[in-house]
Structure 1
Amino acid sequence: MNSFAQKLRAMTDFHPVAWGVIIGTFLSRTGFFMTIPFLGIYLGKGKGIDPATVGAILAASFLVGTLCSFVGGALSDRLGRYPVMIAAMTAWSATLLGFAFADEVWQFFLMSSLNGLCRSIFEPTARALLADVTAPERRTDAFHARYFAINIGGAIGPLVGLKLGAGSTSSLLPFYISAAIFAIYAIVLVIFMLSFKHTLQEKSSGTPMNQMIRIVFSDKVFLYFLIGNVFLAGAYSHLDTTLSQFIGHDRVEAYSFLFIINTLSVLVLQYPLAKLMKRFSSLTALKAGCLLFGLGLFGFGLFDNLALLALSMVVFTAGEILSFVIGDVLIGEIAPSHLRGAYYGASGFAFIGQSACAWFGGILLNVLGFGQGPLIFAILMLLTFIAYPFFHRGQQLWERRLGHSGTDQMCHGMELTKS
């Protein structure tokens, strides 16, 4: 408790804009989870849409979000963080209202696509803004606070949504309230833009989009991180897909219990892990996260005992925390300040791994059967471990780059001394 209290006191010196991003993340995620997790139920039971079409509608959001992930961050580098965030949040609010008024299948496809688009524009821009206003030595704390807010919103949102009738055939109240939350946050962002505009460059140097793409995707350190992250994003996807099918098909209560353990583990482990991993580089933390992710996955298939499954979930969640929080910190370290949004946006391409690995997990269950848990999850563990050599190679290049930077600075200092 003393450590947690110290952490809270240390967080009070975050920049006001950083607090705006963190609190806004909590509010927006609460509103998001009040509605979107229940959208499939609403479309199927409320609108009578067949399951295959419902799946396609939901998939449209992920597809558009992944394909457009670079655009939002890159736009924020050119136009400024605040204008892009305000526009995205305003459009997101209108999209949630659109779900309430939509009645035709094509309209739901459109709203789902817009939902993915708005999220892909807002999220990398918000992360870039948080990195912009936070000193490098405090970014780990700031991104941990943001991740904490995400999980609190993810825990509260569904409960509030259920209370308001989310997923029922007639209640549209959750859509209205979520839209109102997003609209209020857009107004708050306007206030922050007017109050703290001087703390950020309003625009970048005007780097053309094609040049941004060339710079970002020629950064070998970032590319190795991105490829490794494809496999980590895929590992995380098994929580909602492969694991839910494997355990949930005959032990729904056990799966619900494990989901609760996941949420509690995030809240309990986040700050101790943050303190521990400050002793190591970001890529070392990612390699540790990769190993923990894989070991946790293997435990899901190996054990039947609920306590051991819970232990596996704790290990899995530790990997989740290290991989996603430290990954955000790493991008802030390697990205040039004027292209930070583009780097955060490009990192979204890693979530291709979510759809690919979720599909692959389903294939394994279908081909090998539910009785082959150890084999299935051993394969998924090995697939996760593929990320490790990419992170290791990226770490070597990053350390070499830092070494060259230090040498250049030393030589520059010697020249100044001689002059």
Structure 2
Amino acid sequence: MDANKKGIASLTEGLPPTYWLIWIGTLINRLGGFVIPFLTLYLTIQRQIPVSQAALMVSLFGAGSFIAQLTGGELTDRFGRRPVMLMSFFITPIFMVTLGFAENLLLISTSTFMVGFFTDLYRPAVGAAIADLVPPDARTRAYGYNYWAINLGAAVAPLLAGLIAEYNYLTLFIADALTTIVFGFIVLFGIRETRPPETHQSSNTPLSERLEQLKRAPILLWFTFLVLFFGMIYMQGNVTLPLDMQSNGLGPKQYGLAIALNGLIIILVTIPVSNMASTWPRFETIAIATVLLGLGFGFTALASTLPLYMISVAIWTLGEIAGTAVGPAIIADLSPPNLRGLYQGVFGSAWGLSFFLGPLAGGWVYEHLGKNTLWAGCLILGILVSFGFLLLSRKAKLEKLSVPG
């Protein structure tokens, strides 16, 4: 019993109660994360929209996400973490339900963009709040556990969504909206502002001066640039993977099973990997993660049955786990307290831009050059980006930047 208590204590060491409220809210929100993984199928099957147009509409979600990251980061530093979270969690459901009812292309496009914007507006605030609450040596675990919560919900959500989508797509949008509102109430009644008091005065610094500080942080900018390509590869799991499976006679239910495996592996592996990765060199870790991501999607070219698709998913999931735990920790370590929101926003903007460019590039290559070209491209790009992270690691060491691990 004492050994078990010590084991639990080692897992939770350095993680305060407010962190765990964020973790619980994240889990609940992701349990209802039905819409985005199935948005491509919804648009092509339910709304009878051509693949290229559907990919463009999914890219509008990414465009909204991209703008939200930078906007949310600036608002987080200027007004605090809590107000940005509340705005995100109570406005998102309005546009989520609107998207579910929308039938014409203009309303679908507008709603998709707004869902992308308000869904991701809170992310820099949560990233900054975790950096506020958690000491540097526990940050890889903190971000890793939070990503674990995302995928604990995501392991269940695709299974439910796949079954629901067979009968009624609208229910997906309503349930997604309700779980977002629950997270909003957790923040409203349970979470106080975490912004360090010493940053309040600097929050009035003009945006132009704050952007000048970013220009003097080349490691951050290059790291963000490489993460953009990491995200573009990763996005194929939501956009072109279901299309590839559908071309082999595998529908929403089978795709739901494949993506549920992604969540299941993350549930089983993220905690031990996050604990181990807290002592690993961080840039080298994300380099290895990117190779695994590319290998996994490259293997998709060989897949034609559900078991083979699951092998592909298993490989790239390992890269996803390591990369998503270490990436935010690197950003938190690099950012000064008064710029935590902006740094997280810049980092998150790479993911938002990848949500825009990934579907566009992936959908175009899939439709015009063929799926095998797409998957080979993912493999080659993953290898090239991994070398970029290794070069960046060397630059960080030469500049003697403080990045634990």
> Normalising by the residue count of structure 2, what TM-score does the alignment of the two structures yield?
0.83
- Give the structure 2 partner of residue 416 of structure 1: none
Percentage identity across aligned positions?
23
- Give the structure 2 partner of residue 396 of structure 1: 394
- Give the structure 2 partner of residue 150 of structure 1: 150
Confirm or deny: 8 A CA contact 1:78 1:204 kept in the other structure.
Answer: no
- Give the structure 2 partner of residue 17 of structure 1: 18
Counterpart CA distance in 2 for 1:293 and 1:81 is 32
Confirm or deny: 8 A CA contact 2:223 2:389 kept in the other structure.
Answer: yes
- Give the structure 1 partner of residue 140 of structure 2: 140
- Give the structure 1 partner of residue 124 of structure 2: 124
CA-based RMSD: 3.4
Measure how far apart 1:200 and its partner are: 3.9
Counterpart CA distance in 1 for 2:195 and 2:225 is 34
Cα deviation, 1:40-84, whole Å, max 9, x if unaligned, reads: 6666776x5744665544432221211332110111011110111
Confirm or deny: 8 A CA contact 1:35 1:166 kept in the other structure.
Answer: no
Counterpart CA distance in 2 for 1:3 and 1:166 is 45
SS in 2 for 1:68: helix
Which deviates further from its counterpart, 200-209 or 325-334? Answer: 200-209
Measure how far apart 1:388 and its partner are: 2.3
Counterpart CA distance in 1 for 2:246 and 2:24 is 34
Quickly say closer, same or farther: Cα 1:204–1:158, change in 2 above 3 A: farther
SS in 2 for 1:151: helix
Cα deviation, 1:241-267, whole Å, max 9, x if unaligned, reads: 344344441152776654343222222
Cα deviation, 1:325-358, whole Å, max 9, x if unaligned, reads: 2101111111111111111111133233444344
Amino acid at match of 1:241: V
Cα deviation, 1:201-259, whole Å, max 9, x if unaligned, reads: 38351222222223224411111211211221122122233443444411527766543
1:182-261 superposed matches below 5 A: 182-193=180-191, 196-197=192-193, 200-201=196-197, 203=200, 205=202, 206-252=204-250, 258-261=258-261
- Give the structure 1 partner of residue 30 of structure 2: 29
2:112 aligned with 1:112: yes
Structure 2 portions without partners, runs of 5+: none
Amino acid at match of 1:381: L
Amino acid at match of 2:319: G
- Give the structure 2 partner of residue 316 of structure 1: 316
Confirm or deny: 8 A CA contact 1:69 1:120 kept in the other structure.
Answer: yes
SS in 2 for 1:62: helix
Counterpart CA distance in 1 for 2:176 and 2:312 is 34
- Give the structure 2 partner of residue 270 of structure 1: 270
1:73-112 superposed matches below 5 A: 73-99=73-99, 105-112=105-112
Confirm or deny: 8 A CA contact 1:61 1:113 kept in the other structure.
Answer: yes
Cα deviation, 1:10-36, whole Å, max 9, x if unaligned, reads: 3445212111111111112223x2344
Count, aligned residues: 395
SS in 1 for 2:270: helix
Measure how far apart 1:359 and its partner are: 4.0
Counterpart CA distance in 2 for 1:265 and 1:215 is 39
Quickly say closer, same or farther: Cα 1:385–1:39, change in 2 above 3 A: closer
Q: Greater relative contact order: 1 or 2 (C-alpha under 8 angstroms, separation 6 or more)?
A: 2
SS in 1 for 2:34: helix
Quickly say closer, same or farther: Cα 1:17–1:204, change in 2 above 3 A: farther
2:375 aligned with 1:343: no
Counterpart CA distance in 2 for 1:404 and 1:239 is 34
Measure how far apart 1:147 and its partner are: 0.8
Cα deviation, 1:391-412, whole Å, max 9, x if unaligned, reads: 123212322333699xxxxxxx
SS in 2 for 1:279: coil
Counterpart CA distance in 2 for 1:344 and 1:391 is 18
Which deviates further from its counterpart, 15-24 or 249-258? Answer: 249-258
Amino acid at match of 2:78: R
Counterpart CA distance in 2 for 1:130 and 1:403 is 21
Cα deviation, 1:350-375, whole Å, max 9, x if unaligned, reads: 233444344444454455545xx4x6
Counterpart CA distance in 2 for 1:368 and 1:114 is 31
Confirm or deny: 8 A CA contact 1:301 1:377 kept in the other structure.
Answer: yes
Counterpart CA distance in 1 for 2:374 and 2:302 is 10
Counterpart CA distance in 1 for 2:194 and 2:8 is 27
Cα deviation, 1:90-117, whole Å, max 9, x if unaligned, reads: 1113323434665655443332222111
Cα deviation, 1:280-314, whole Å, max 9, x if unaligned, reads: 22111111112222222333335668766644433
Amino acid at match of 1:121: L
